[in-house]
Amino acid sequence: MRPNIAETWILGSGMGALLLAALVVNLIVPQFEDVFRGFGAELPWLTAVFARHRHLFFLLPLLPPLLWWAMARHAGASPQARRKLAVLALLLALGLTFVMVPLTIIAMYLPIFGLAGVVDG
């Protein structure tokens, strides 16, 4: 099942948003890695996941077309329903983008907050 032009643009927008988010993650995380090495303490779980597996975020742009394909194939959808499924996949991608970027920033600052707690305590 191939998407039509409108569905292609909708799915491409979702893929672009997730690609931008993956780029942000991969640009932010390396800047903090040298700082983390200097701490000498164990990293919080979320920070360690982002630091070790940041390249896997480049797989996220595949999510909207795969989701659309799976839902459209399962539903045997009409053109109107397929377009709605494409919009749903776009909304999922945008939501994931708006969650992933702030979560990356939080993950990168968690060790700094932990260190501040040790210094104040």
Number of domains in the chain: 1
Does residue 8 belong to any structural domain of this protein? no
pTM, full prediction: 0.76
Is it the case that residue 27 has pLDDT exceeding 60?
A: yes
Q: In this structure, is residue 59 part of a structural domain?
A: yes
In a domain? residue 67: yes
Residue 32, domain member (yes or no): yes
Alpha helices in the chain (DSSP H): 5-39, 45-52, 63-75, 79-120
DSSP category for residue 20: H
Residues 6+ apart with CB under 8 A from 14: 61, 63, 64, 89, 90, 92, 93, 94
**Domain-located, residue 56:** yes
Looking at the domain assignment, is residue 2 inside a domain? no
Residue 19: pLDDT band (50, 70, 90) is very high
Q: How far apart are CA 107 and CA 9, in angstroms?
A: 32
Domain that holds residue 33: 18-115
Q: What is the pLDDT of residues 67-79, one digit of tens each?
A: 888 888 776 667 7
Query: Does residue 52 form part of some domain?
Result: yes
